[in-house]
């Protein structure tokens, strides 16, 4: 009979270093592709276009856009 808290010994392998930001970006791209029924190249183009829009006219100062954050009391 084996005791439930006793387990076989095994070596611990070193983990590879993972870039979490790159992993988050790839996951976000996959989600966008699934939601918008787009190919990965189209998702990349959407992201590039959005980045370009943000760099040209400011983040929330464009006409008809809501600000990213707001405060009730000014």
Q: Is position 68 within any domain?
A: no
Pair of tokens at residue 47? 């992201």
Tokens describing residue 74:
């000014």
DSSP code, position 59: S
Q: How many other CB atoms sit within 10 Å of the CB of residue 32?
A: 16
Q: How many residues in the chain?
A: 74
Whether 8 is in a domain gets the answer no
Domain that holds residue 25: 20-55
For residue range 11-64, list pLDDT tens digits in order. 777 777 888 888 998 998 999 899 988 888 899 998 888 888 887 655 445 566
Is 29 among the domain residues?
Answer: yes
Inside any domain, residue 11: no
Asked, for residue 38, whether it belongs to a domain, the answer is yes
pLDDT tens-digit series, residues 2-19:
666 666 677 777 777 888
Cβ partners under 8 Å of residue 68, min gap 6:
59, 60
Phi–psi pair at 30, nearest 5 degrees: -65, -40
Number of domains comprising the chain: 1
């Amino acid at each position: 009979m084996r005791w439930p808290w006793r387990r076989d010994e095994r070596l611990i392998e070193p983990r590879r270093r993972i870039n979490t930001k790159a992993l988050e970006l790839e996951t976000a791209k996959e989600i966008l592709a699934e939601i918008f029924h787009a190919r990965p190249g189209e998702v990349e183009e959407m992201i590039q276009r959005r980045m370009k829009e943000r760099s040209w006219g400011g983040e929330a100062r464009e006409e008809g856009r809501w600000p990213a954050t707001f405060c009730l009391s000014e």
